Chains A and B, each alone.
Chain A
């Protein structure tokens, strides 16, 4: 790998980290296509590097003060139980699947989630009466769009657990954080506001990534210099994303996420059909 690749990957990591922190993802969904399609790296190698950036993004979100009010740690820990199990399953299963199958899975997941996001663009899931009880897994926070304290309740807990398991499987298979599935699905189906889903997921995806990262590392699927360059980029980019997150409107966050996912989906459909 030529030395010039290092700064290029660092810059890509910065962009992925910014978008990842802004949207509650690890940034892998942006970085993997760049490494795989752009630089020609093997998909599982790109996934291994992506897992490292997911862990870095999650560490930064957990250490930072931005979005602290909206992180629901109790909900996050509960959802980690199926997510880590799924990640382990995914990491064990990745060697059984071909690059073409993995590409097709990536394309389908991105496409379905993008459509789901676009269909539910204006769903906010908040209760404006602050006296309403949020329940054991809900919460309340100050929302600038409403100009006051808002409450939310978790609905369909079994669906939330199933979504987290599926997010974990995808994390183990593709090296993404799992947030790509969890954030929109928790928002659309389980009554969790976009900002809460994004912040909680971002803080917890490091643990999901731990469900597969040691297995990737032991298989030699993490190229140390490239992973280091991507992580250093992510460290810078995710700070910018966290600064932008409270200032961005939920509707625009969803729209941006849907557009990016559609572009990634089309890229991988094309890749899978030409492999």
Chain B
């Protein structure tokens, strides 16, 4: 079945695995520094960088899934993904309005 995740396996796994390693390292480093010196700006910087990487990771997976489906000319999937991408743009806009 073309809609299965198997079709995207190689790219999907790479894009999913890299942010896990990155935000995991940022959190581990940030927490160690935080426990030693809670007010150290390096700790909060690393922890916030980890948070932003984590928040961005689903969007990165969506982007690669979209690219792969455009390459395969799976237009139904492409349209569905574009609709979700537009929704996520609205979310970012609402978040930027509040910050």
Q: Known contacts A55-B57, A63-B13, A218-B99; is A210 also within 8 Å of B20 by CB?
A: no
Cβ-defined contact, B91 with A59, below 8 A: no
Complex alpha-carbon distance, A154 and B61, angstroms? 25
A58 to B4, CA, bound (A): 17
Contact B47 A228 (CB under 8 A): yes
Residues of B within 8 A of A84 (CB): 84, 87-88, 91
Within the complex, the shortest CB–CB distance from A24 to chain B, in Å, comes to 15
Binds B, one of A96-104, A179-187, A219-227, A259-267: A219-227
Residues 1-24 of chain B, each 1 if its beta carbon lies under 8 Å from chain A, else 0: 111111111001100110110011
With A60-B20, A80-B84, A225-B47: A215-B95 Cβ-Cβ less than 8 Å: yes
Cβ–Cβ contact A214 & B58, under 8 A:
no
Do A73 and B8 touch across chains, with their CB atoms under 8 A apart?
yes
| Chain B, Cβ-Cβ closest to A73 | B5
Which residue of the partner chain, among B2, B44, B58, B84, contacts A224 with CB atoms under 8 Å?
Answer: B44
Bound Cα distance A59, B24 (Å)? 12
Give the docked Cα–Cα distance between A52 and B47 (Å). 12
How many B residues touch the partner, as a band?
Answer: 35 or more
The one of B3, B44, B48, B61 in contact with A72, judged by C-beta atoms closer than 8 angstroms, is B3
CA gap between A92 and B98 in the complex, in Å = 10
User: Would B1 and A134 count as touching, CB distance under 8 A?
Assistant: yes
User: Which of A139, A140, A218 is the one whose CB lies under 8 Å from B96?
Assistant: A218
- Count of A interface residues, CB-CB < 8 Å: 54
Within 8 Å CB of B9, what residues of A?
68
**In whole Å, how far is A83's beta carbon from the nearest beta carbon of chain B?**
9
User: Which residues 11-70 in B have Cβ within 8 Å of A in the complex?
Assistant: 12-13, 16-17, 19-20, 23-24, 27-28, 30-31, 34-35, 38, 43-44, 47-48, 50-51, 54-55, 57-59, 61-62, 65
A136: nearest chain-B partner, CB-CB: B3
Residue of A nearest to B36 (CB): A3
A222-B51 contact, Cβ under 8 Å, with A214-B95, A215-B95: yes
Interface residues of B (CB under 8 A from A): 1-9, 12-13, 16-17, 19-20, 23-24, 27-28, 30-31, 34-35, 38, 43-44, 47-48, 50-51, 54-55, 57-59, 61-62, 65, 77, 80-81, 83-84, 87-88, 90-92, 94-96, 98-99
Given A6-B34, A92-B94, A227-B47; 16 other pairs, CB 8 A cutoff? A59-B19, A59-B57, A63-B17, A65-B13, A68-B9, A71-B5, A73-B3, A74-B2, A88-B91, A137-B3, A211-B88, A213-B55, A218-B98, A219-B99, A224-B51, A232-B28
8 nearest A-B residue pairs (beta carbon): A74-B3, A63-B16, A214-B95, A218-B99, A224-B47, A206-B58, A228-B27, A218-B95
